[in-house]
Every structure is written in C-alpha cells, then in structure tokens.
Amino acid sequence: MAVELYDVLLVVVGITLLGIAVLPRVVAKRPISMPLFFVAFGIAVFALPWFPAPDPLEQSHLTERLAELGVIVALLALGLKIDRPVGLRRWSVTWRLLAITMPLSIAGAALLGWWLVGLLLPSAILLGAVIAPTDPVLASEVQVHDPGEGIEEVEEDDPEETAVNSEHEVRFALSSEAGLNDGFAFPFTNLAIATALVGIAPGNWLGEWLLVDVAYKIVVGAVLGAGLGWVLAKIIFATMPETRVGQSVKGVEAIAGTLIVYGITELIGAYGFIAVFVAATALREYERTHEYNETLHEISELSEQLLLGVIMVFFGGAIAGGLLSPLGAEAIVAVLAIVFVVRPLAGLTGLLGYDCPWVERGTIAFFGVRGIGSFYYLAHGLNEAAFVGAELVWAIVGAVVLVSIVVHGVTATPVVSYVTSE
C-alpha cells in the first residue's frame, strides 16, 4: 500500500497540536522542558524516508519569516503579562541587563567565534549578535505569571490604586530582558551585515550605523510602539464584546493590533520588535486592572505556543538533516562556553552593585535562554549579506539553542521556584 505524504503530514500536525494541548498538563511543575519534546519529535519525524529534512540555509527566507512571526507573537504575550509599570528605577535591573550584560555577551561570543573557532571577523560579530538576545518564546518557565498576579491592592476601597510588589525580581528581570533585548540585538546584527558588505574599517560604516541603526531605529520604534499601543488600547477597551459573535472572537484584537504595529514600524524603517513589546506594555498600562487583559493574553499565548511547537519540530528536523554536523571540537567548546561561561559572567557583571541577594543575581545571570530569536537574526543576517562559514555559524547557534533547551528547560522550574519562594 502506497503511503500518502499528505496523510502522514496530517498525523504529524495532529500530534504536534495534541502535544501543545496536553504537554503543559504533564510537565507542569516538573523539571522537564516542553520544547524538548517537540525537538525530539521533529528529529524522529524527519528521520523517516518520506520527509526531506528542513535546511535553514536553503530555506533561509522561510526560516526568517517563521521565526520572525514566532518572536512577534511571543513579545506580545510577554508584554501583556508584565504587571510592573515602566520606569527608570522600577526597571533598573532591565537597563543593566541591556546596557552591560548584552554587549558583554556579544563581545564574548564574538571573541570565541574569532579566536577559538576561527571565524572571520564579520561572521564572528554575527555569531555574537544573534546569540545575545534571550528568548521570549522558550523562557516561559522563568517568566512572570499571568496578568494581575503581580499586583497587590493598596486600599480595598480603591481598586485603581495599586502597587506592584509581588512580581518577583528574578522573574521580572528575565521577562523584561527577553522582551527588549530581542529588539536591541538588531543594531549589532546590522553591524555584522555592514562589516560583511563594506569591510571592517570603521570609517566605512560607523557614522551611518550610529545614526540610523542605533539612534533612529531604536527611538522611533519605542515611540511608535508607545503611541500605537495607546491607540490600540483606546479601541480595544472602548467597547466590550457582548454578542455571541463578539464573544467568539474576543482577544483576537491583540494579534491584529500586533501585526499592525509591527508592519507600520517596519515600513518606516524602525525596529518592529521593540515597537511590539512597547505597544504590549502600553496596552497593559492603559487598563492595568481590567479583566479583559486576561483574555488578550490568553489568545496571544495560545498563538505563541502553536508557533513554538511548529518551529521546534522544524528545528528537530534540521538536526536530523545534519544541522550540527559541521561542529568540531573547538566549536563544541565555544558552544558550552557561551552557555555556561559567557552569559553567566556577563550577567553577574551587569548586576554588580544591584540590590538583591547573590542567589537571585546568579539565577538571573544563568538563565539566559537562547532560542527562536537567534534563529531569526541569523537567517536575516545571512539573507542580507554573504558570510564565510555560514554552515558552521548555523551549527554553533543550533547547538547553543539545543543545550539551552535541555539545560535551562530542565533546571528552570525547580531553581526559579526555589529562589522565588524564599
């Protein structure tokens, strides 16, 4: 009997969706990484003779767009559940992780790529840039909880006056960092692209890079995200769904608004990732205690989990197809050093002098989960310029993400639960 590829594909998709629905009940509060199941499933499926294994180099544009969509939706879901109001002092741990930890992580990974692995400088810079952002998709175990769970009432007779005191610093730090550094990795990725296109001499790219890629795109992305987020909030909270049809599609406004914000921001040449996260926090800020926040978050988180499952299955398929085969001994050492040395040391350096216990600093520093954001930036960089050693860079990034899924996924629940319960 001939095997119909379409029928097999239906079974694969069905198992993936069933896993998205059932696995959270099985792995809840257990030291098990849910994405690891999808990666293993992808390896098993694409090892079968019926399926050609996905190749992120050959299918680079599809890889870029699929990962891009996954990050966009994840940033929305994350921004909608952060209860702490934005502020210089309230978010001081975030600014430390962005201004100190992230550049140090980029420099450390780039140095390993150039000195240890032997990558040319543009490729080494690209490696550092794409491996720097922590992931908003895979890091659900270390993130803040659902909307409203970090809010404590100040006065029982005044529900609008609230203080955000119960959102634990570890969860908040890792959540807010993941929300913003996915956008802040773009200038460094563009730096790698510039050096690949026009050479490493600073005179060829420095002025335009600072003015356009750093200043303009970051500022405009943040401002536009805040403004569009406020407009979106006005539209969403102006009326509540009352009809049966309205009830059946409630929460979809969040996805629709996110696509609008991202598209508009990218059309004018600014960073859409930054705009989406800022818009989500602005939407959350507009009606902080409204029960509809939970509905908006639920639909965005469902979309996030669906994309997570699909992307991780394809990642497993790429591994089955030989994604990691270019790795040599030096590259393996670099992978382990990025996960276990570069990020923890950069994290601890960024938190020097910060007022929190050392066990919390160590937890924040260690759990720099790498994932889908790195896939996006790498695919984007390789689509924009030719980099020598692209296959090796993909192998290193894939191995870092795989190690992160296993190590951080297995340790996150017990470690973060222990730290945040003290």
Q: Do the Cβ atoms of 374 and 400 come closer than 8 Å? A: yes
Write down the pLDDT at residue 153.
42
329: tokens are 């001994």
Which of 11 and 272 is assigned the larger pLDDT?
272
Q: Do the Cβ atoms of 172 and 207 come closer than 8 Å? A: no
283: tokens are 């939407």
Indicate the SS3 state at residue 161.
strand
Give the separation between CA 251 and CA 248, rounded to whole angstroms.
9
Q: Do the Cβ atoms of 397 and 127 come closer than 8 Å? A: yes
Q: Do the Cβ atoms of 417 and 384 come closer than 8 Å? A: no
Tell me the CA distances in angstroms from 167 to 83, 245, 336, one per residue in order: 7, 35, 31
Q: Do the Cβ atoms of 413 and 141 come closer than 8 Å? A: yes
Which residues are CB-neighbours of 386 under 8 A, at least 6 positions away? 196
Mean pLDDT of 212-238: 92
pLDDT tens, position by position, 337-357: 999 999 999 999 999 988 888
Q: What are phi and psi of 288, to 5 degrees?
A: -65, -35
Please state which of the ranges 21-30, 153-162, 409-418 shows the lowest mean pLDDT: 153-162
Please state which of the ranges 22-26, 262-266, 276-280 shows the lowest mean pLDDT: 22-26
What pTM, to 2 d.p., does this model score? Answer: 0.90
Which residues are CB-neighbours of 341 under 8 A, at least 6 positions away? 108
Domain housing 277: 5-421
C-alpha neighbours within 13 Å on the C-beta side of residue 208: 9
* pLDDT band, residue 247 (cuts 50/70/90): low
pLDDT tens, position by position, 78-106: 888 888 888 888 899 999 999 999 999 99
Q: What are the residues facing 163 on neighbouring strands?
A: 152
Average model confidence (pLDDT) across the chain: 86
Question: Using the 8-state DSSP alphabet, how is residue 355 labeled?
Answer: S
* pLDDT band, residue 306 (cuts 50/70/90): confident
Give percent of the chain with pLDDT exceeding 70: 85
Between helix 121-131 and helix 372-384 the angle, nearest 10°, is 150
Count CB neighbours of 33 within 10 A: 23
108: tokens are 């450390």
Residue in 274, 407, 391, 389 with CA at minimum distance from that of residue 338: 407
Residue in 344, 389, 349 with CA at minimum distance from that of residue 369: 344
DSSP E strand stretches across 297-398? none
Write down the pLDDT at residue 152.
45
Write down the pLDDT at residue 303.
84
Surface-to-core class of residue 163, CB atoms within 10 Å of its CB (0-12 exposed, 13-18 middle, 19+ buried):
exposed
Residue in 256, 284, 271 with CA at minimum distance from that of residue 79: 284
Q: Do the Cβ atoms of 33 and 409 come closer than 8 Å? A: yes
Tell me the CATH number at 233. Answer: 1.20.1530.20
Residues in the chain: 422
Please state which of the ranges 64-68, 131-135, 149-153, 279-283 shows the lowest mean pLDDT: 149-153
Please state which of the ranges 39-48, 91-100, 126-135, 236-245 shows the lowest mean pLDDT: 236-245
Whether pLDDT at 133 is above 70: yes
> How many domains is the chain built from?
1
pLDDT tens, position by position, 174-185: 889 989 988 999
